[in-house]
Each structure stands twice: as C-alpha cells, then as structure tokens.
Amino acid sequence: MFTGIIREIGHVISVTKTGDWTVEVCAPVTVSELSIGSSVACNGVCLTTIELTDETYTVQLSTETLAKTVPDSWQEGRDINVEPSLRMGDELGGHIVSGHVDGLAKVVSRTEEQDSIRFVFKIPDEFEGFLAPKGSIALDGISLTINDVNGTFFGVNIIPHTQKATTIGLKQAGDMLNFEIDTIARYVGRMLAARGL
C-alpha cells in the first residue's frame, strides 16, 4: 500500500528483456528503506525488490505489468517516480494507492497557469463512473486531486513543488501516464453495479 506521495525521482540504469524483464533503478534515498522482498512503487506500479546495492534496487516486470503500463517507463535512461510502501505510523499525506494500475491516461492538453500547470487527461470509457470533482486519482504514482470532470476527461493542476518532486511537469500533450482510480470509488462502483444501479 502507498500514499501517492513520491519519495524521489529514480533513474532507470539497466533493463534486461529476457523472460520477465528485470529493471535496475538508482534511487539512493528509497533504497535505505528497502529490503529483499519489499514492495516499491515505480511510476505507480507496485513491484517487488529482488536485488539491492547501496544506491540501486532491481525489480521484475511480468507480461501483465508490461501490457498495462507505459512502455517508455521501462527504458534505460528514463526517470521514474519512486515511493516505498507505507509503514505503520507513516503520515497518510495523499490517498490510499494500491499500486495496481488500471490502464493509461492520455494528456489531452497542457496549459501554464501562473506558476502551476493545468493538465486535461482522458482515460478509457469504462472508467468514466469512477471520476468525481475533488476526488483522487493516481497518475504515474502521484496522488492528485481531480478539479473537474467531463465524461472521461478530467483536469488537474500541478503546483511548482509537484513539478520539481515528480516527473509530471515534463509531460506534454499526447504523452501517456499510468493511472489508478481511487480505491473507495472502485468499491462503491462495484457495489452499485452488483445492485444494478
């Protein structure tokens, strides 16, 4: 379990594309909190640590993970958002994030608004009912508040701190990000569907 508060920007230093891919990430701050078997969110994807050095960790990517996430995330030289799993007593500063990515959100537009950036995203049609103004969504692992919703389009504002502490400030129209709908919205939607509502 995660909160969507990114600990650091990690750097992908190697990718082995044999069988289940293995990816080595340089993230010195996060590594200090990991052990073999620890969960770590990489661009919002919950992965298991299989190797550690003083400054890097290695994870494996299954076929399912590769199919559901942004392919460019898993390339040498890429920067990714990194968050270790939540521990008892940690501050819950964002919202509950499972690290189970639902799919890809597309950047429809990017507009500078004073010091902030206003993004509009689109997600697949089947997730329309899970979006709500002032609700939460995780994009590339970042806990964000939805400002407004129009069908499967939704807007968020990115403040300067988030631009510096994550990779989202670099995104442009046409780029894709991993998204995870809010856990509460997921279960409410499931209950309503079960009742035929």
CATH number of the domain residue 46 falls in: 2.40.30.20
Q: Which residues pair with 105 in a beta bridge?
A: 177
- Does residue 188 share a domain with residue 107? yes
Domain end, chosen from 52, 84, 116, is at 84
The answer to the question of residue 3 being in a domain is: no
- Does residue 190 share a domain with residue 113? yes
Domain end, chosen from 28, 56, 84, is at 84
The answer to the question of residue 153 being in a domain is: yes
Please say whether the dihedral angle defined by the alpha carbons of residues 178, 36, 86 and 78, taken in this order, is positive or negative. negative
- Does residue 147 share a domain with residue 79? no
- Does residue 112 share a domain with residue 71? no
Q: From its phi and psi, is residue 186 left (phi > 0), alpha (psi between -120 and 50) or beta? A: alpha
The answer to the question of residue 92 being in a domain is: no
The answer to the question of residue 148 being in a domain is: yes
Torsions phi, psi for 143 (to 5 deg): -75, 120
Into how many domains does the chain fold? 2
Residue pLDDT, tens place only, 85-105: 987 767 777 788 999 999 999
- Does residue 188 share a domain with residue 115? yes
> Is 69:33 a contact under the CB 8 Å cutoff?
no
Beta strands in 35-135 (DSSP E): 39-42, 45-52, 56-61, 79-84, 103-113, 116-122
Question: What is this structure's pTM?
Answer: 0.92
Domain end, chosen from 29, 56, 84, is at 84
Instruction: Look at residue 187 in the predicted model and tell me its pLDDT.
Output: 65
- Does residue 73 share a domain with residue 116? no
Q: Domain range for residue 72?
A: 8-84
- Does residue 178 share a domain with residue 111? yes
Residue pLDDT, tens place only, 162-195: 999 999 999 999 999 999 998 777 667 666 666 7
- Does residue 66 share a domain with residue 32? yes
- Does residue 107 share a domain with residue 181? yes
Q: Which ranges of the chain have pLDDT less than 70? A: 89, 186-187, 189-194, 196-197
CA 7/CA 90 separation, integer angstroms: 13
